[in-house]
């Protein structure tokens, strides 16, 4: 069914439109077709769809919040409390939006880690992977600017710390910072432009997501064995198999979101953000939201400001060249005994950095942060290329279907 160049539609309305604007066949050919999917995808593959759901939740709640929020230095904090107290179900919508952002990041980290473990970034999916990195970068910008909008103490000081990073740029740094602020410090003009961009960027994410899904549909998803689909015996239709498999994941995700929203809505937030922004009073510890902590730790681990900024951005930009840093021709970590160990070391390293980011940058925590930062870059730039050369991969299964039907040790879960 899929892959046919021009499908004949039976519905007369669709035929009428299709004849004039071939939108249905175009959507089907790029992102909408029921593609033959490897039959061994496990639950880690559900996080892509889950992220789309998370994006939709953020956009829908965000649009409603925007109807009541006022982006002005003297009114923003009050307008958020107005939403919490006077707008019908305003508290619910705001708590879903705030906690939804956290779960969005949790899901994106799992999604990225899955891609790294199973080598999903390798030929021929490099562009698919790089588009994903672009989405992640826009997500970070969006989340950061969204966190500024309530105009609490942490909002204000996070904005101050992050925008000040640009002053590290030689020669024109100060000018750029002033230009970003729209003044000589973080103030109402900064808030207003952050609001404008916070509304704009999710739609940029949406657009790049369409490209991401389009690239996905060209060669189909990778799979836990990392070997290519060799024929129809290796695939099953996405509908209804994977739709049914992943529905329970989506629903479980909503349940986690509900537990946070209804029972611990402020658990992931910081109490200081319930104090109105005060430019004259710096909080004792300025900490970002949990999902930025690893990168914040990298920033502070380096004594030089400019190098710190470069390292922080570099820690994500290095993902762009990951397809070429990994020299192994075997995709899946399942058949790479040495790589597998280093993958988990990287996960631990990331968690250590996360912990470091929450501590004051001094004493043992700073030393740990420096070691973890060094290891982070070592992993990508040195270990990954070397492992590919020196490692002796385990024998790959003949095909996806033999791995599914085989001894059972390889992929017992996927065949259920």
Partner 1 sequence: MSKLLRLLGGATLAAMIAWPVVAAEAIKPAAREWSFNGIFGTFDRAKAQRGYAVYKQVCASCHGVKYLAFRNLTAIGFTEAEAKALAAEAQITDGPNEEGEMFQRPGRPSDRLPMPYANDAAARAANGGALPPDLSLITKAREHGPDYVYALLTSYSDAPRGMTLPAGMTYNKAFAGNQIAMPAPLTEGQVEYIDGTKATVAQMAEDVVVFLHWAAEPNLEARHRLGFQAVLFLLALTVLFWFVKQRVWGDQH
Contact residues toward partner 1 (CB under 8 A) are 39, 81, 84-85, 91-92, 95, 236, 240-241, 244-245, 247-248, 250-252, 254-255, 258-259, 261-263, 265-266, 271-272, 274-275, 284-285, 287, 341, 344-345, 347-348, 351-352, 354-355, 358-360, 415-416
Task: Indicate the residue among 265 and 393 with the shorter CB distance to partner 1.
Answer: 265
How far is residue 127's CA from residue 344's CA, in Å, rounded to a whole number?
25
Cβ-Cβ contacts under 8 Å for 385 (sequence gap 6 or more): 325, 326, 327
Task: Indicate the residue among 274 and 320 with the shorter CB distance to partner 1.
Answer: 274
Query: Least distance (Å) from partner 1 to the CB of residue 233?
Result: 12
How far is residue 17's CA from residue 60's CA, in Å, rounded to a whole number?
29
Query: Least distance (Å) from partner 1 to the CB of residue 40?
Result: 11
Task: Indicate the residue among 11 and 248 with the shorter CB distance to partner 1.
Answer: 248
Q: Let me know: does 238 contact 216? Beta carbons within 8 Å.
A: no
How far is residue 121's CA from residue 323's CA, in Å, rounded to a whole number?
6
How far is residue 318's CA from residue 207's CA, in Å, rounded to a whole number?
23
Task: Indicate the residue among 81 and 175 with the shorter CB distance to partner 1.
Answer: 81
Task: Indicate the residue among 123 and 262 with the shorter CB distance to partner 1.
Answer: 262
Query: Least distance (Å) from partner 1 to the CB of residue 255?
Result: 4
How far is residue 412's CA from residue 210's CA, in Å, rounded to a whole number?
33
Query: Least distance (Å) from partner 1 to the CB of residue 163?
Result: 23
Over its C-alpha atoms, the chain yields an Rg (Å, rounded) of 23
Q: Let me know: does 31 contact 213? Beta carbons within 8 Å.
A: yes
Task: Indicate the residue among 184 and 416 with the shorter CB distance to partner 1.
Answer: 416
184-218 burial, b at 16+ Cβ within 10 Å, e below that, comes to eebbbebbbebbeebbebbebbeebbebbbebbbe
Task: Indicate the residue among 204 and 254 with the shorter CB distance to partner 1.
Answer: 254
Cβ-Cβ contacts under 8 Å for 403 (sequence gap 6 or more): 40, 225, 227, 397, 410, 411
Query: Least distance (Å) from partner 1 to the CB of residue 166?
Result: 26
Task: Indicate the residue among 11 and 281 with the shorter CB distance to partner 1.
Answer: 281
Query: Least distance (Å) from partner 1 to the CB of residue 288?
Result: 12
Cβ-Cβ contacts under 8 Å for 284 (sequence gap 6 or more): none
The kind and range of the H/E element at 179 are helix 173-181
Query: Least distance (Å) from partner 1 to the CB of residue 30?
Result: 26
Nearest Cα residue to 209 out of 109, 136, 142: 136
Query: Least distance (Å) from partner 1 to the CB of residue 44?
Result: 16
Q: Measured on CA atoms in the order 119, 125, 126, 130, is the torsion positive or negative?
A: negative
Nearest Cα residue to 147 out of 82, 191, 84, 106: 191
Task: Indicate the residue among 84 and 110 with the shorter CB distance to partner 1.
Answer: 84
Query: Least distance (Å) from partner 1 to the CB of residue 177?
Result: 27
Query: Least distance (Å) from partner 1 to the CB of residue 191?
Result: 19
Opening angle at CA 175, ends 172 and 178, nearest 5: 150
Nearest Cα residue to 154 out of 63, 302, 285, 6: 285
Task: Indicate the residue among 11 and 341 with the shorter CB distance to partner 1.
Answer: 341
Opening angle at CA 399, ends 397 and 400, nearest 5: 100
């Amino acid at each position: 069914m899929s892959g046919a160049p021009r499908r004949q539609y039976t519905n007369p309305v669709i035929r009428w439109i299709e004849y004039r604007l071939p939108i249905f066949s175009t959507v089907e050919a790029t992102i909408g077709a029921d593609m033959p999917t490897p039959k061994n995808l496990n639950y880690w593959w559900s996080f892509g769809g889950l992220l789309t759901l998370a994006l939709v939740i953020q956009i829908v709640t965000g649009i409603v919040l925007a109807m009541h929020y006022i982006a002005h230095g003297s009114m923003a904090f009050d307008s958020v409390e107005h939403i919490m107290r006077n707008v019908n179900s305003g508290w619910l919508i705001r708590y879903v939006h705030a906690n939804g952002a956290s779960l969005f990041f949790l899901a994106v980290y799992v999604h990225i880690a899955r891609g790294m473990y199973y080598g999903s970034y390798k030929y021929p999916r490099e562009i698919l992977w790089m588009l994903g990195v672009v989405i992640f970068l826009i997500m970070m910008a969006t989340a950061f600017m969204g966190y500024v909008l309530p105009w609490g103490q942490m909002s204000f000081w996070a904005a101050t710390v992050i925008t000040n990073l640009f002053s590290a740029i030689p020669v024109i740094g100060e000018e750029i910072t002033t230009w970003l602020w729209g003044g000589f410090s973080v103030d109402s003009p900064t808030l207003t432009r952050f609001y404008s961009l916070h509304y704009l960027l999710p739609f940029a994410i949406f657009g790049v997501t369409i490209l991401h899904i389009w690239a996905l549909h060209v060669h189909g998803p990778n799979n836990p064995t990392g070997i290519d689909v060799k024929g129809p015996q290796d695939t099953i239709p996405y509908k209804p198999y994977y739709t049914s498999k992943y529905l329970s994941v989506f629903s479980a995700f909503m349940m986690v979101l509900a537990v946070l929203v209804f029972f611990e809505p402020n658990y992931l937030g910081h109490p200081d953000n319930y104090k109105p922004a005060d430019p004259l009073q710096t909080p004792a510890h300025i900490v970002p939201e949990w999902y930025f902590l690893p990168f914040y730790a990298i920033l502070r681990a380096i004594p030089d400001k400019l190098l710190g900024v470069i390292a922080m951005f570099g820690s994500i930009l290095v993902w762009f060249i990951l397809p070429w840093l990994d020299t192994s021709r075997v995709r899946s970590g399942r058949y790479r005994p040495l790589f597998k160990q280093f993958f988990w070391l990287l996960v631990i390293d990331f968690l250590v950095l996360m912990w470091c980011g929450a501590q004051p940058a001094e004493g043992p925590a700073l030393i740990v942060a420096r070691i973890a930062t060094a290891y982070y870059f070592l992993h990508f730039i040195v270990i990954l290329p070397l492992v590919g050369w020196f490692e002796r991969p385990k024998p790959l299964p003949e095909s996806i279907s033999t791995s599914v039907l085989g001894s059972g040790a390889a992929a017992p879960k996927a065949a259920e």
